[in-house]
A and B are shown apart, each in its own frame.
Chain A
Amino acid sequence: EVQLVESGGSLVQPGGSLKLSCVASGFTFSNYWMDWVRQTPGKSLEWIGEINTDGSKTNYAPSIKDRFTISRDNAKSTLYLQMSNVKSDDTAIYYCTGGIAYWGQGTLVTVSS
Protein backbone atom coordinates (compact mmCIF):
# COMPACT_ATOMS: atom_id res chain seq x y z
CA GLU A 1 0.00 0.00 0.00
CA VAL A 2 1.33 3.41 -0.96
CA GLN A 3 1.75 5.76 1.97
CA LEU A 4 3.02 9.32 2.24
CA VAL A 5 3.17 10.60 5.79
CA GLU A 6 3.88 14.27 6.35
CA SER A 7 5.02 15.72 9.64
CA GLY A 8 6.48 18.89 11.08
CA GLY A 9 3.54 21.22 10.76
CA SER A 10 2.95 23.59 13.66
CA LEU A 11 2.26 27.15 14.73
CA VAL A 12 5.10 29.44 13.66
CA GLN A 13 5.55 33.18 13.97
CA PRO A 14 5.80 35.42 10.91
CA GLY A 15 9.41 35.56 9.75
CA GLY A 16 10.18 32.20 11.31
CA SER A 17 11.31 28.91 9.82
CA LEU A 18 9.94 25.38 9.71
CA LYS A 19 10.95 22.10 8.10
CA LEU A 20 8.36 19.62 6.92
CA SER A 21 9.11 15.96 6.23
CA CYS A 22 7.31 13.33 4.20
CA VAL A 23 8.14 9.64 4.55
CA ALA A 24 7.17 7.45 1.63
CA SER A 25 6.48 3.72 1.50
CA GLY A 26 4.81 1.22 -0.80
CA PHE A 27 6.45 2.46 -3.99
CA THR A 28 9.96 3.04 -5.32
CA PHE A 29 10.50 6.55 -3.98
CA SER A 30 13.73 7.10 -5.89
CA ASN A 31 11.92 6.64 -9.21
CA TYR A 32 9.43 9.44 -8.65
CA TRP A 33 9.55 13.17 -9.04
CA MET A 34 8.05 14.51 -5.82
CA ASP A 35 6.00 17.63 -5.24
CA TRP A 36 4.63 19.79 -2.45
CA VAL A 37 1.12 21.22 -2.77
CA ARG A 38 -0.72 23.34 -0.22
CA GLN A 39 -4.38 23.99 0.46
CA THR A 40 -5.41 27.22 2.09
CA PRO A 41 -8.24 27.63 4.60
CA GLY A 42 -10.38 28.87 1.70
CA LYS A 43 -9.76 25.44 0.15
CA SER A 44 -7.89 26.42 -3.00
CA LEU A 45 -4.93 24.26 -4.02
CA GLU A 46 -1.53 25.73 -4.85
CA TRP A 47 1.44 23.86 -6.28
CA ILE A 48 4.60 24.80 -4.39
CA GLY A 49 7.35 22.98 -6.20
CA GLU A 50 8.91 19.77 -7.43
CA ILE A 51 12.16 17.86 -7.19
CA ASN A 52 13.52 15.32 -9.66
CA THR A 53 14.41 11.75 -8.83
CA ASP A 54 18.02 12.28 -7.70
CA GLY A 55 17.46 15.67 -6.11
CA SER A 56 19.60 17.56 -8.61
CA LYS A 57 16.80 19.66 -10.06
CA THR A 58 13.99 21.66 -8.50
CA ASN A 59 11.23 23.93 -9.75
CA TYR A 60 9.26 26.34 -7.59
CA ALA A 61 6.16 28.48 -7.71
CA PRO A 62 6.99 32.20 -7.89
CA SER A 63 5.02 32.87 -4.68
CA ILE A 64 7.51 30.91 -2.55
CA LYS A 65 10.70 31.01 -4.57
CA ASP A 66 13.78 31.97 -2.52
CA ARG A 67 11.91 31.29 0.73
CA PHE A 68 11.19 27.56 0.45
CA THR A 69 13.60 24.75 -0.47
CA ILE A 70 12.68 21.22 -1.47
CA SER A 71 15.13 18.38 -0.92
CA ARG A 72 15.05 14.62 -0.62
CA ASP A 73 16.94 11.68 0.87
CA ASN A 74 16.35 8.61 -1.28
CA ALA A 75 18.10 6.35 1.22
CA LYS A 76 15.45 7.31 3.77
CA SER A 77 12.57 7.61 1.25
CA THR A 78 11.97 11.06 2.66
CA LEU A 79 11.03 14.38 1.08
CA TYR A 80 11.60 17.71 2.82
CA LEU A 81 10.30 21.24 2.61
CA GLN A 82 12.39 23.88 4.33
CA MET A 83 10.31 26.99 4.89
CA SER A 84 11.89 30.29 5.86
CA ASN A 85 10.69 33.87 6.33
CA VAL A 86 7.14 32.56 6.53
CA LYS A 87 4.16 34.85 6.11
CA SER A 88 0.53 34.67 7.20
CA ASP A 89 -0.37 33.73 3.60
CA ASP A 90 1.65 30.52 4.07
CA THR A 91 -0.99 29.22 6.49
CA ALA A 92 -2.26 26.04 4.86
CA ILE A 93 -2.33 22.27 4.87
CA TYR A 94 0.83 21.05 3.14
CA TYR A 95 0.68 17.86 1.11
CA CYS A 96 3.53 15.90 -0.40
CA THR A 97 2.71 14.11 -3.62
CA GLY A 98 4.33 11.39 -5.67
CA GLY A 99 3.95 12.90 -9.09
CA ILE A 100 0.23 13.42 -9.51
CA ALA A 101 -0.77 9.95 -8.39
CA TYR A 102 -0.01 9.73 -4.68
CA TRP A 103 -0.95 12.20 -1.97
CA GLY A 104 -0.24 12.27 1.73
CA GLN A 105 -2.79 13.21 4.38
CA GLY A 106 -1.23 16.63 4.89
CA THR A 107 0.28 18.58 7.76
CA LEU A 108 -1.07 21.91 9.01
CA VAL A 109 1.14 24.97 9.12
CA THR A 110 -0.25 28.03 10.88
CA VAL A 111 1.63 31.31 10.66
CA SER A 112 0.55 33.70 13.36
CA SER A 113 1.98 35.85 16.11
Chain B
Amino acid sequence: DIQMTQSPASLSASLGETVTIECRASEDIYSNLAWYQQKPGNSPQLLIYDANSLADGVPSRFSGSGSGTQYSLKINSLQSEDVASYFCQQYNNYPYTFGAGTKLELK
Protein backbone atom coordinates (compact mmCIF):
# COMPACT_ATOMS: atom_id res chain seq x y z
CA ASP B 1 0.00 0.00 0.00
CA ILE B 2 1.10 3.57 -0.63
CA GLN B 3 1.61 5.44 2.65
CA MET B 4 0.60 9.09 2.74
CA THR B 5 2.49 11.10 5.36
CA GLN B 6 0.72 14.38 6.02
CA SER B 7 2.18 17.27 8.01
CA PRO B 8 1.68 19.04 10.24
CA ALA B 9 -0.94 17.18 12.25
CA SER B 10 -2.23 20.48 13.59
CA LEU B 11 -1.69 24.08 12.70
CA SER B 12 -2.60 27.38 14.29
CA ALA B 13 -2.61 30.48 12.09
CA SER B 14 -3.92 34.05 12.07
CA LEU B 15 -6.54 35.56 9.78
CA GLY B 16 -4.96 36.73 6.55
CA GLU B 17 -1.96 34.45 6.93
CA THR B 18 -0.80 31.97 4.30
CA VAL B 19 -0.65 28.34 5.39
CA THR B 20 0.83 25.27 3.74
CA ILE B 21 0.01 21.63 4.37
CA GLU B 22 2.15 18.88 2.91
CA CYS B 23 1.70 15.27 1.91
CA ARG B 24 4.46 12.86 1.05
CA ALA B 25 3.69 9.61 -0.74
CA SER B 26 5.80 6.49 -0.18
CA GLU B 27 6.14 6.14 -3.96
CA ASP B 28 5.44 8.15 -7.09
CA ILE B 29 1.68 8.79 -7.46
CA TYR B 30 1.93 10.75 -10.74
CA SER B 31 -0.14 13.69 -9.47
CA ASN B 32 -3.15 11.46 -8.74
CA LEU B 33 -3.79 13.33 -5.53
CA ALA B 34 -6.81 15.05 -4.04
CA TRP B 35 -7.20 17.44 -1.12
CA TYR B 36 -10.36 17.60 0.98
CA GLN B 37 -11.70 19.97 3.60
CA GLN B 38 -13.85 18.64 6.42
CA LYS B 39 -15.69 20.88 8.85
CA PRO B 40 -17.01 19.44 12.14
CA GLY B 41 -20.16 17.39 11.64
CA ASN B 42 -19.84 17.42 7.86
CA SER B 43 -18.50 15.05 5.24
CA PRO B 44 -15.24 15.83 3.41
CA GLN B 45 -15.52 18.22 0.47
CA LEU B 46 -13.22 18.11 -2.54
CA LEU B 47 -10.90 21.11 -2.85
CA ILE B 48 -8.20 20.03 -5.30
CA TYR B 49 -7.88 17.09 -7.71
CA ASP B 50 -5.05 15.91 -9.93
CA ALA B 51 -2.70 17.69 -7.50
CA ASN B 52 -3.35 21.21 -8.78
CA SER B 53 -6.86 21.48 -10.28
CA LEU B 54 -9.38 23.52 -8.30
CA ALA B 55 -12.73 21.80 -7.79
CA ASP B 56 -15.91 23.63 -8.80
CA GLY B 57 -16.93 26.38 -6.42
CA VAL B 58 -13.71 26.33 -4.39
CA PRO B 59 -12.27 29.80 -3.64
CA SER B 60 -9.13 30.69 -5.56
CA ARG B 61 -7.19 31.24 -2.31
CA PHE B 62 -6.79 27.46 -2.25
CA SER B 63 -4.13 25.98 -4.48
CA GLY B 64 -2.34 22.68 -4.87
CA SER B 65 1.07 21.83 -6.20
CA GLY B 66 3.62 19.08 -6.36
CA SER B 67 4.65 16.03 -8.30
CA GLY B 68 6.19 12.62 -7.81
CA THR B 69 6.01 11.94 -4.10
CA GLN B 70 5.75 15.48 -2.66
CA TYR B 71 2.56 17.56 -2.66
CA SER B 72 1.26 20.61 -0.90
CA LEU B 73 -1.94 22.54 -0.30
CA LYS B 74 -1.66 26.29 0.17
CA ILE B 75 -4.30 28.58 1.59
CA ASN B 76 -3.70 32.25 0.92
CA SER B 77 -5.19 34.95 3.11
CA LEU B 78 -6.72 32.62 5.70
CA GLN B 79 -10.40 33.21 6.42
CA SER B 80 -12.39 32.18 9.50
CA GLU B 81 -14.43 29.74 7.39
CA ASP B 82 -11.23 27.84 6.55
CA VAL B 83 -11.06 26.42 10.09
CA ALA B 84 -11.41 22.72 9.39
CA SER B 85 -9.49 19.49 8.97
CA TYR B 86 -7.71 18.83 5.70
CA PHE B 87 -6.90 15.45 4.18
CA CYS B 88 -4.91 14.32 1.16
CA GLN B 89 -5.76 11.16 -0.79
CA GLN B 90 -3.84 9.29 -3.46
CA TYR B 91 -5.84 7.55 -6.18
CA ASN B 92 -2.99 6.25 -8.29
CA ASN B 93 -2.82 2.74 -6.82
CA TYR B 94 -5.25 0.44 -5.06
CA PRO B 95 -5.96 0.59 -2.23
CA TYR B 96 -6.49 4.34 -2.36
CA THR B 97 -5.06 5.85 0.82
CA PHE B 98 -5.48 9.02 2.85
CA GLY B 99 -3.19 11.14 4.91
CA ALA B 100 -3.90 11.30 8.65
CA GLY B 101 -5.21 14.84 8.38
CA THR B 102 -4.28 18.34 9.47
CA LYS B 103 -6.45 20.25 11.92
CA LEU B 104 -6.33 23.97 11.17
CA GLU B 105 -7.29 26.41 13.91
CA LEU B 106 -7.23 30.16 14.30
CA LYS B 107 -4.57 31.71 16.47
Interface of A toward B, CB cutoff 8 Å:
35, 43-47, 50, 59-62, 95, 100-101, 103-106
Contacts and interface: CB of A to CB of B under 8 A. Distances in A.
Interface residues of B, number: 20
A15 B55 CA distance: 40
Contacts of B44: 45, 95, 103
Given A47-B96, A103-B43, 10 more contacts: A46-B98, A59-B95, A60-B95, A61-B95, A95-B43, A100-B89, A100-B91, A101-B49, A101-B55, A103-B45
Contacts, number: 43
Main secondary structure of the interface of B (DSSP, over half): loop
B97 interface: yes
Nearest to A48: B95
Contact of B98 (A45, A59, A104): A45
Nearest to A59: B94
A59 B100 CA distance: 22
B89 to A, nearest CB: 7
Interface in B3-43: 34, 42-43
